[in-house]
């Protein structure tokens, strides 16, 4: 099991330069857990890709449905107090802390596309490329 961040979901489902690395992560470990926050993050990514003409709206809707089918039942809500303490201690956003808290709770790796998060939380966070090797 891994904790997957919203970036990893996006790289997996929206064809781009990091898609192959995300596929390697999925091949290495297909049991992903995410806080419910991933939905908002991913919807924002889809909106941005439509605005940038990477996807049209119909493709964005199809990608959203695919994401829900894959990850809609893989959610776990971290406890708010743990999120706040982790965010303050690691000097990261409360959004990022949700993923970190889940990784710590399960004693598993957080796989992320966020290099700054890897630097701030190296005890649990690794890059997509490093995990997929």
Q: Domain containing 100 — which CATH number?
A: 3.40.50.1010
CA distance 34 to 91: 21
Kindly state the tokens that stand for 120. Answer: 């701030």
- Domain assignment of residue 105, given as a range: 2-131
pLDDT tops 90 at residue 25 = yes
> Which pLDDT band holds residue 133 (cuts at 50, 70, 90)?
confident
Q: 């993050």: which residue's tokens?
A: 41
**Taking the complete model, does pTM exceed 0.85, yes or no?**
yes
**3-state secondary structure (DSSP) of residue 127:** strand
Question: What percentage of the chain has pLDDT greater than the value 90?
Answer: 98
pLDDT tops 90 at residue 46 = yes
Mean pLDDT of the chain: 97
> Which pLDDT band holds residue 71 (cuts at 50, 70, 90)?
very high
Contact 74, 32 (CB under 8 A): yes
Domain count, the chain: 1
pLDDT digits (tens, 9 = 90+) for 94-118: 999 999 999 999 999 999 999 999 9
Nearest CA-CA partner of 39 in 70, 1, 17, 80: 70
To which H or E segment does residue 25 belong?
Answer: helix 19-28
Nearest CA-CA partner of 121 in 76, 91, 80: 91
> Which pLDDT band holds residue 132 (cuts at 50, 70, 90)?
confident
Kindly state the tokens that stand for 100. Answer: 């970190």
pLDDT tops 90 at residue 75 = yes
> Which pLDDT band holds residue 72 (cuts at 50, 70, 90)?
very high
CA distance 99 to 120: 13
- What pLDDT, on a 0 to 100 scale, did the predictor assign at position 121? 97
Nearest CA-CA partner of 46 in 38, 37, 55, 35: 55
């Amino acid at each position: 099991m891994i904790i997957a961040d919203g970036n990893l979901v996006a790289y997996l489902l929206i064809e781009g330069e990091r898609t192959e690395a995300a596929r390697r992560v999925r091949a290495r470990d297909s049991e992903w857990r995410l806080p419910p926050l991933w939905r908002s993050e991913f919807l924002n990514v889809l909106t941005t890709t439509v605005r940038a003409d990477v996807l049209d709206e119909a493709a964005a809707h199809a990608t959203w449905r695919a994401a829900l089918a894959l990850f809609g039942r893989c959610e776990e809500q971290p406890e708010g107090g743990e999120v706040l303490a982790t965010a303050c201690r690691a000097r990261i956003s409360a959004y990022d802390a949700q993923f970190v808290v889940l990784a710590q709770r399960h004693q598993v790796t957080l796989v992320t596309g966020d290099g700054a998060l890897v630097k701030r939380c190296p005890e649990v966070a690794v890059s997509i490329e490093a995990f997929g090797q």
